[in-house]
Amino acid sequence: MEWQAGGDRCVGDLGGAKALFFHPFRRMTGSRGPLSGALLALLVFIMVLVYGQNATARDQILREAILIAIEHDDASGLGDRGDEKLIDLFIHYEDAGFEPIWVTPDGASDKARRLVEIFERSHEDALFPGDYGVAQLRVMLNETDLEPLASLELSLSKALILYAGHLSAGRTEPNKINQELFLFPSGPNPQGVLAGARSAPDIGLFAQSFAPNTPNYVRLRFKLAEFRKHAAAGGWETIPRDKALRPGSQDRRVPLIRARLIKAGDLAEGAHDGTTYDGALVEAVKSFQERHGTEPDGVIGPSTVSDMNVSADDRVRQIEINMERRRWMVDDLGSPHIFVNLADQYLKYVKGPKTLHTARLIVGQKFSRTPVFSRDMTYLVVNPFWTVPRVEAAETFLPQLQKNPQLVSDKKIRVFSGSREISPFAIDWNDYSAETFPFRLRQDPGPENELGQIEFEFPNDFGVNIHDTPAKALFERSSRTFGDRALLIENPFDLADILISPQGWTRQKVDELVESNTKRIIKLANPVPVHITYLTAWTNKDGSMQFRRDIYERDRILSAALSRYVPQ
């Protein structure tokens, strides 16, 4: 086969007869439509008449049939940017002389059959076998005629490209389903996928190589199988709602709670009996509460009962959703890195395989949700100024100033018009409304500053940073969604010590700087990646399954997107 001038068609010599095939770019312009199965079969029949039926001829006809099938494919089943993927597929086969990967002139290869088995088991990775046309592929494996074998070859390659993309980068595009997710994962290059498949001695190991290569993903995959077994066995009985159950109480629900905690793995068989809520059962409830992100006080109130009554099917779905989120993440988060889980409301500083520091966070409230994204932390600010956001200044502070101008002075807030400072008592605040408010309010450094006494900056377009807060009592709550997009951190100077002590900053030196109330920017010698995530299910290293509530309803959005997804 050779391309003619202009690059939009090629001519093949079929035993003296000439056949004209159109280049994919011409197909995409609308010059040619998809080739019908009947017409492909007719062309193959003509080639059989020309070439004959010996082994060499059948091999050549199969290659020509694969070329024809690719040239006239409509890119269906390749997902987003299907036309681009089809071009890559064409280039791979052209470079290989249209030699098949999956079939021979006599039928489907063992590699093809193994690949279909891989697709059939894709549910083990929370994928959907129907996306890859498993039922149809299973039937096509029995074909021996050249035309359907060419179709099988193309179908398997397309399915593998789609599968590799799903397993490595997810079935959905995060930012398209939720614009609060600033993640843009990309799957592997189709040419690389097909080249790897062609040379792979073990197609199973090759296919699994596209999965996230992280212990977190592997552990969650294992738990998916475990919870599916629970669901298949009928799950667990519902715990009736009643008054709160405290240690030492007797209650008819105790046997149900005991059975529930045994299935959850928090209580060993035989560790408790009777109807008194005491001993090992109390400790098991505390373990359950801790794994679900609630206060481990051992009191079985409405919140704990609600967590116990989430069905096995719903927990399976929650794990599937979070496996999708893991596929959006890169394998290498950096060492060290900072990992923030908004649903958990915790920050972790991780170096290598170890978590060296953990801190509670206050995250954005429901109507001011913190977005998901990754950026590099580059500097710290000790004793920051706080510039009051204009909306807050106009809508919150102005009504208070109209009643008492002393308010801003009490809070060490200064008033500026441009760069000029103005006394709050020199202004008739009643002359202004929220719409006409022209001033800038700035709070001086100090322990009462809204940003606290230190902030951590990872420049971004979302107005998000990590900072101290004077509202220390809020960290004692189990649910901490009180912020305004930014992240408020408990004991911030512990994190600062980890970040800047290698640069010669001792805690004493930092404390002296804080006491001075002088603003100081400290640049990090090495930027630290910050990953702000949203995970409502994960498995710890000790094997404990962790669940968190969907505080931003992002589980619901992602579940709906996965349910309606159909590959195009």
Residue 55's pLDDT is: 66
DSSP class per residue in 362-393:
EEE-TTSPPPBEEEEEEEEEES--EEPPHHHI
Q: Note if the bond before 336 is cis, omega within 30 degrees.
A: yes
Sign of the CA dihedral running 314, 315, 319, 320: negative
Q: What are the sequence ranges of the domains in the chain?
A: 2-211, 220-314, 332-547
Q: How many other β-carbons are positioned within 10 Å of the β-carbon of residue 205?
A: 9
Chain-centroid distance, C-alpha 289:
25
**Domain 220-314: homologous superfamily in CATH:** PGBD-like superfamily/PGBD (1.10.101.10)
Chain-centroid distance, C-alpha 439:
41
Token code pair at residue 560:
């709906």
For residue 503, give the DSSP letter. G
pTM given for the model: 0.87
CA pair distance 494, 518, nearest whole angstrom: 20
DSSP class per residue in 260-294:
HHHHHTSS-TTS--SSB--HHHHHHHHHHHHHTTS
Among 541, 566, 559, 478, residue whose Cα is nearest residue 315: 559
DSSP class per residue in 390-437:
HHHIIIIIHHHHHH-THHHHHTTEEEEETTEEE-GGGS-GGG--TTT-
What are the backbone dihedrals phi and psi of residue 100, each rounded to the nearest 5 degrees, phi first? -75, 155
CA pair distance 52, 345, nearest whole angstrom: 70
Residue 483's pLDDT is: 80
CA pair distance 86, 81, nearest whole angstrom: 9
For residue 245, give the DSSP letter. B
Residue 452's pLDDT is: 94
CA pair distance 247, 283, nearest whole angstrom: 10
CA pair distance 170, 304, nearest whole angstrom: 32
Q: What is the CA radius of gyration of the chain?
A: 31
Residue 42's pLDDT is: 60
Residue 36's pLDDT is: 52
Residue 566's pLDDT is: 57
Question: Are the CB atoms for 244 and 299 separated by under 8 Å?
Answer: yes
CA pair distance 349, 330, nearest whole angstrom: 17
CA pair distance 64, 12, nearest whole angstrom: 9
Question: What is the CATH T-level fold of the domain 332-547, as seen in this structure?
Answer: L,D-transpeptidase catalytic domain-like (2.40.440)
pLDDT in tens, the chain (568 residues): 343 333 343 434 433 333 333 344 334 334 344 445 555 566 666 665 555 566 678 889 899 999 999 988 888 888 888 899 999 999 999 999 999 999 999 999 999 999 999 999 999 999 999 999 999 999 999 999 999 999 999 999 999 999 999 999 999 999 999 999 999 999 999 999 999 999 999 999 999 999 999 999 999 999 999 999 999 999 999 999 999 999 999 999 999 999 999 999 999 999 999 999 999 999 999 999 999 999 999 999 999 999 999 999 999 999 999 999 999 999 999 999 999 999 999 999 999 999 999 999 999 998 889 999 999 999 999 999 999 888 888 888 999 898 888 888 888 999 998 889 999 898 999 988 989 999 999 999 988 899 999 999 999 999 899 999 998 999 988 889 988 889 999 999 999 999 999 999 999 999 999 999 999 999 999 999 999 999 999 999 999 999 999 999 999 999 999 997 655 4
Chain-centroid distance, C-alpha 465:
21
CA pair distance 474, 525, nearest whole angstrom: 33
Q: How many other β-carbons are positioned within 10 Å of the β-carbon of residue 280?
A: 16
For residue 438, give the DSSP letter. -
Residue 565's pLDDT is: 63
Kind and range of the H or E run holding 564: helix 554-564
- What's the Cα-to-Cα distance from 169 to each of 172, 187, 327, rounded to whole Å? 8, 5, 5
Question: Are the CB atoms for 434 and 394 separated by under 8 Å?
Answer: yes
